[in-house]
Amino acid sequence: MGRKIKRKYKLKPLYVLDGNFTQIANTMFKHIPNGNYFKIYCYLCFRYNRNYQYAFPSLNTISKDTIISVSTVQKAINWLEQKKFIVRYKRKESEWMNNCYYVRYVVENNEDDQKEIIKTLEQELGDGFETEIEIEIEEEVED
């Protein structure tokens, strides 16, 4: 068992944040109900590389950094992929064996914003990419 250490942190108001942040679409807060799955989605957003346009952490790295078991990470990745919130694939001709993850977000009432993302995915994945995806989303409606 590891030893416990105390660390001191500074807390600042959010309005002074000018860098060192992760971009997450507001719509995703209501579309990923499981806390651990949402944490994994957020972590993939955090690790998203804008130059490559995907995230590529290993399962062990995700598990270690999020303090979530590898089996739960795998379940979360599978669920996110099933819901089409991420696209997972192996890099071709690479020495690295970890997966790459394209991260998607739900756009409400504006399909035009997705065209650029779809174009990038089509170029990367070729024939294996479905350009049009229909998903069902359950929502609670207050009477």
pTM of the model: 0.68
Predicted pLDDT of residue 40: 97
What's the pLDDT tens digit per position in 10-44?
A: 777 777 777 788 889 888 998 999 999 999 999 99
Range 42-46, long-range pairs (CB < 8 A, 24+ positions) = 44/80, 44/86, 44/101, 44/103, 45/103, 46/22
Fold observed for domain 23-128: Arc Repressor Mutant, subunit A (1.10.10)
